[in-house]
Amino acid sequence: MGVLRDNPEFALFLCLAVGYLVGKLRVGPITLGGICGTLIVSLLLGAWAHVEIDADVKTIFFALFIFALGYMAGPQFFANLNRRSLRFFALCGIELVSVLAIAIGLAKVFDLDVGTAAGILAGAATESAVVGTATEAIGKLPGLTAEQVTTYQGHVATAYTVCYLFGLVTIVIYTSQIMPMMMRINLRDASRELWEKMRGSGGSLESDEREALPGLVGRTYLVTHADGRTVGDLETNFGGRVTVEVVKRGSTTLTPRPDLELTLSDLVLIVGRRANTIEAGRVIGPETPGIPGVDTPLATSQVAVTDRAVSGKSLDDIQRTHPEFARDGVYVTDVLRNDQHLPATPETVVERGDVVTLVGARSGLDRVVAKIGTVAKNDATDFIYLGFGIAFGSLLGQLVVRIGGVPLSLGTGGGCLVSGLLFGWFRSRRQTFGAFPPQAATTIKDMGLALFIACTGLTSGPQAWPLLKEYGALLPFAGIAMVLVPATLSLVVGRKLLNIEKPLLIGAIAGQQCSTPAITSVTQVAQSSVPMLGYTITYALSNFLLPLTGPILVGILGA
């Protein structure tokens, strides 16, 4: 015990290691996750050893976490502030109003202190960032003694831990198992049907293909059925979704001009998506093995979308308005939004800041890149940009606004979140500066939150047991209720009023709860990433809005 007290850094990283080990334990489709595991271990260790951690350490780690979170969500958050995403924005509004109303109601009915109420909100909403924003807001409440501040902040962590456990289990089971039954759908079949509708290719995928990422393939065919047809006519017949790359006639290789007429026994190389190239073979003739001379190298490039005219359009619309795609045989094979891969279907909407993977002949590829964006250069962190961003957020968090006598402040956490959103969005406008590679951002985000949670748990451990004895039965009930109420309201509103497709709605509800385990379970049940299209919109919005509920709740109850 003395080793832990005298070496708080040892206790801190021990909590991190053991906590993530505990978080790997699986019960059916549910795992606690590293953050919840870390908090459980740190609470137990703190209650036993009474380890003291400087409060500034928590603030620094939380600032790193919340800035990285905002930076990653910024481009998508601002992209979703449009008319097309209003129906998904409504779901986030339901989540925010519901959890705040329930938390305030529980506090009034059961006479909860501000820390317990904030912990219930953070845990039931499965939003770890609320722990930080609420804890910081409690520290700034006027009229509280240092002992009261410590006690209430400890109650935030304890209530969060219990409610998170029950909230996590509830949202995972509700979205992946119960919601499909309530809507009377087989989630796998419904996702597949919506996928095929979005693909617009008129055919189903082969059993060995992944729906989330259709393969780009090249195949050679012997001209029999297409005798007399021109190259341009053939490509137009498939809506520009296949390209004739090479035509070989005897020993001569011909340039595939649009007016070139194919003749019997020509060999042609077709490049396009798998389903389209297979369909093209039925029009052209039998497939042949690869033949020397009938081949062309294809280059791959990851491109950050910066063109305003492209943002907000579907891949199909982009290809129609940019003939370079069809003319030069360039295809989109992947869309990366933050750290989420979206299915590259014709109806997938591309936003500014997305990174799309383009495949095609190098000359054509360069022309398309020049039209829609810039080659993504994200190989080293720009610490100048990162440092100024966190410093600006820290200053922003010091501002205090009084509304009806209630002092409201973003605090360091809220300020860095807003700063991260702005700096991430500004970076996405022209990705030639401010690099923050996704892997680096994810590492800083996860480690910053984990160490902040470990600090919180170690210092809050002594207050955990008295709170559990006092409100032990209430906390599980609150954790379940604060998931079921907003999720059920969103389900009804999403279907009856907003007419959101069922797989997308389930994904969006998981996103409004900011629950990565829930969307992971949903996509596993669906065997498709289609629900992810709804998840990314609400996840980006709720990731910004939910942390702000901490200071709001503390300000209302603290007054």
Note the pLDDT of residue 540: 72
| Cα separation values, 547 from 37, 168, 214, 215, Å | 21, 17, 37, 39
d(CA 159, CA 468): 8
Q: State the alpha helices, DSSP H only, in 300-437.
A: 315-321, 324-328, 362-372, 383-396, 411-429
d(CA 266, CA 254): 10
Q: Which residues of 189-215 are buried (b: 16+ CB within 10 A; e: fewer)?
A: ebbbbbbbebbebeeebeeeeebbbbe
d(CA 450, CA 13): 10
Helix (H, G, I), strand (E, B) or coil at 147: helix
Q: With DSSP H G I counted as helix, E B as strand and the rest as coil, what are the percentages for the chain, rounded to 5?
A: 60, 15, 25
Identify the CA nearest to 383 among candidates 64, 58, 56, 60: 64
* Burial (0-12, 13-18, 19+ Cβ within 10 Å), 12: buried
Q: Is the dihedral of CA 312, 315, 318, 324 positive or negative?
A: positive
* Token reading at 514: 């900011």
Determine the distance from the C-alpha atom of residue 514 to the mean position of all C-alpha atoms in its chain, rounded to a whole number. 9
CB 375 within 8 A of CB 302: yes
Q: Of all helices (H) and strands (E), which one includes residue 123?
A: helix 114-124
CB atoms within 10 A of CB 144: 16
d(CA 187, CA 355): 28
d(CA 221, CA 289): 8
Q: Which residues of 295-309 are buried (b: 16+ CB within 10 A; e: fewer)?
A: eeebeebbbbbbbee
All residue ranges of the chain with pLDDT < 70 are 1, 27-32, 76-77, 79-85, 198-216, 240, 290-298, 323, 326-329, 338-340, 361-363, 377-379, 402-411, 430-432, 460-461, 463-465, 467-468, 559
| Full-model pTM | 0.58
Q: In one letter, which amino acid is 164?
A: Y
**Residues near 114 by beta carbon (within 8 Å), at least 6 away in sequence:** 107, 138, 141, 152, 553, 554, 557, 558
d(CA 352, CA 78): 9
Determine the distance from the C-alpha atom of residue 526 to the mean position of all C-alpha atoms in its chain, rounded to a whole number. 18
Q: Of all helices (H) and strands (E), which one includes residue 135?
A: helix 129-139
Rg (CA), the chain: 27
Partners of 71 in the β-ladder? none
| Cα separation values, 525 from 29, 129, 210, 341, Å | 10, 28, 14, 18
Q: If you search the block for the tokens 């600032």, which residue do you land on? A: 63
* Burial (0-12, 13-18, 19+ Cβ within 10 Å), 161: buried
CB 88 within 8 A of CB 509: no
Helix (H, G, I), strand (E, B) or coil at 498: coil
Partners of 243 in the β-ladder? 271
Note the pLDDT of residue 493: 92
Note the pLDDT of residue 489: 94
Partners of 342 in the β-ladder? 335
What pLDDT, in 10s, does the model give residues 54-107? 778 878 887 888 788 778 777 766 766 666 667 788 898 999 999 999 999 998
Identify the CA nearest to 100 among candidates 558, 554, 487: 554
CB 534 within 8 A of CB 187: no
Note the pLDDT of residue 290: 67
d(CA 218, CA 46): 61
